[in-house]
Amino acid sequence: MSYKHIIFDIDGTMLNTETADMLATQETIFQLTGEKKSIDYFRFTFGIPNSVVFPQLGIEDVEKASLMWAENYSKHHSTLKLFDGIQDVLNVLKSKGHILGIVTSKSRREFNADFATFGLEHLFGTVICVDDSPRPKPNPDPVLEYLKRTKAEKSETIYIGDTAYDAQTAHSAGIDFGLAVWGAHNWEQIKAEYYLKKPDDILNLV
């Protein structure tokens, strides 16, 4: 099937942010609790909004924790990088007339500080950040907000992401999902219409 609208997640899909994300979470929890847990302990939190993550980690003051996390994350900004091949794929999709969008768990401030600095923002027509819909992923709200703003048909839209949360968001909104295996953990356990081993595989969908 050829899709008119191709929506992308950011973290773990277009941008490799895992090192910065995990270190920031590890450091924030240490500062708040005095517990030094391994990076692997926090893998399950990757790509999930802080408003969801910190309560799961037993932190009640989410606002305070989020501010600390943002400060810690900024210290590791130099580790952020685009996945190999993703920029070329985006350019090809755009040149073929596909409409590209973003649905991310990043706040608008985080989006501007992280992704926008790579100079790809002009390729995307509609960007839905965590503050643009009532509920975050894995609820359908962010994708539904994208569909509302763009008037896209569900049958002509696909969401590409790297986590089970991304898959749940797409499926609960009634659209197809392509799993970015290159950024996923335990990808065999995630339900998807397409398992994309490398960014170039996206071109096979169109």
20 contacts: CB under 8 Å, gap ≥ 6: 73, 76, 77, 79, 80
What region, left, alpha or beta, does residue 192 occupy, with left being phi > 0 and alpha being psi -120 to 50 degrees?
Answer: beta
**Residue 174 CB-half CA count within 13 A:** 10
pLDDT of 185 reads 86
Co-location of 131 and 156 in the same domain:
yes
> 162 and 86, same structural domain?
yes
Same domain for 193 and 112:
yes
Domain boundary (61, 79, 97) is at 79
pLDDT at residue 7 tops 90: yes
The three state secondary structure string of 130-195 is HHHCCCCCCCCHHHHHHHHHHCCCHHHEEEEECCHHHHHHHHHHCCEEEEEHHHCCCHHHCCCCEE
The answer to whether residues 127 and 176 belong to one domain is yes
65-to-56, 158, 196 alpha-carbon distances in Å: 13, 33, 34
Instruction: State the CATH number of the domain containing residue 153.
Output: 3.40.50.1000
In a shared domain, residues 89 and 189: yes
If asked whether residues 69 and 142 sit together in one domain, one would say no
State whether 12 and 34 are in the same domain. no
Angle between helix 18-33 and 62-74 (nearest 10): 130
| Chain mean pLDDT for the chain | 94
**Looking at 79, 95, 111, which one is the last position of a domain?**
79
Task: Tell me the pLDDT band of 1, cut-offs 50, 70 and 90.
Answer: low
Containing structural domain, residue 73: 18-79
Specify whether 142 is located in the same domain as 69.
no
pLDDT in tens, 72-116: 999 999 999 999 999 999 999 999 999 999 999 999 999 998 998
Rg (CA), the chain: 16
Q: What is the pTM of this model?
A: 0.90
Total count of domains within the chain: 2
- Tell me, yes or no, whether 92 and 35 share the same domain: no
Same domain, 135 and 197: yes
Same domain for 148 and 112: yes
Same domain, 152 and 165: yes
Q: What is the pLDDT, as a whole number, of residue 165? A: 92
Considering 41, 59, 79, which residue would you say is the last residue of a domain?
79
| Residue 163 predicted with pLDDT over 90 | yes
